[in-house]
Amino acid sequence: MRNSPRLTEFLAGCRDESPLLLGVAPFGMIYGIAALAAGVPAWLAQLASAIVFAGAAQLVIVQMLAAGAGFMPIALTSGLLNLRHVLYSASMAEYVSHLPRRWRLLLAYVLTDEAYAVAVLRYQRRGPEPAAAQAGNPDEAPPSAASTACSASDAAIGARAPAEDLRHWYFLGAGFTLWAGWQLSTAVGLLFGATIPPEWELDFAVPLTFIALLTLLLRERAGQAAALAAGLGALVFAALPYKLGLVAAILLGLAAGAWTVHRLERA
């Protein structure tokens, strides 16, 4: 049973990511429908989901293709939309820097909004290194943020002393679950999109998914300050061209979160 701890972490990641598929599935179906409407061959649309694996960017690309946009505007817009993944990578770097390059490349591939929201909570339950001190003090209570998300995985993982940091397997499980769900939902949209009644309004599931992710990350003051600042920034800078207002709002939210953390540490 040498691989059982790894399998436990992997399955815990799959389990904790699964509820978010309720919002991802309509998102993928919308992409499949939009790709066909834009004249993209079904095989190419499915291949893009497997390789690109970027929901918002894929939707924007097919919409701009349908509008007759050129290569440079499409590349610039999709690049700006995916700029947030640089921030995700910076946030996760301290947790995965010790891993071999093949692991870092694999985890970078599955690092999406939903996978990040689940995986970062798993990492934040203890520091970037294995918490060896917890093995000698089993009665020590976990941080308050840990008890609110992914509690089912705690019961399976916390029973053993963490002799090795296997949380990257949890990360992989979360990312794989999302990847598989995205491929399946894209295929459903490509196969059955024309038969879905328009009154279902599946596009409404997209903002609902991000709202659900936001609630997971608003359990501490730094996250609350970052969300408030970013939300206000998005409104103030909404008129900027090329969606630069979104980039400005992200930077403003990061600054507010970092300032809040610094202030709390000094207090």
Per-residue pLDDT 10s for the chain (267 aa) are 455 888 999 999 999 999 888 878 888 888 888 888 788 898 999 998 998 888 778 887 887 787 777 777 778 777 777 777 887 888 888 899 999 999 999 999 999 888 988 998 888 876 444 433 334 444 444 444 434 444 445 544 544 444 578 899 999 999 999 999 999 999 998 988 666 666 666 556 556 556 655 665 666 777 788 888 888 988 988 888 766 777 788 788 878 877 887 787 787
What kind and span of H or E run contains 163? none
Residue 115, CA atoms < 13 Å, CB-side half-sphere:
31
As given in the structure block, the two tokens for residue 160 are: 């053993």
How far is Cα 201 from Cα 129, in angstroms, rounded to an integer?
45
Residue 211 is assigned to a structural domain of this protein:
no
130: left (phi over 0), alpha (psi -120 to 50) or beta: beta
Closest-CA residue to 112 (of 199, 209, 178): 178
Do 242 and 135 lie in one domain? The reply is no
Number of domains the chain is built from: 2
Do 56 and 162 lie in one domain? The reply is yes
Do 88 and 41 lie in one domain? The reply is yes
Q: Among 205, 229, 245, give the residue marking a domain's end.
A: 205
How far is Cα 120 from Cα 107, in angstroms, rounded to an integer?
12
Q: Is the pTM of this model over 0.95?
A: no
Do 84 and 115 lie in one domain? The reply is yes
CB 210 within 8 A of CB 204: no
Burial of 1 (0-12, 13-18, 19+ CB in 10 A): exposed
Residue 128's domain comprises 4-205
Q: What is the DSSP letter of 204?
A: G
* CA torsion through residues 193, 194, 196, 199, sign: positive
Do 89 and 173 lie in one domain? The reply is yes
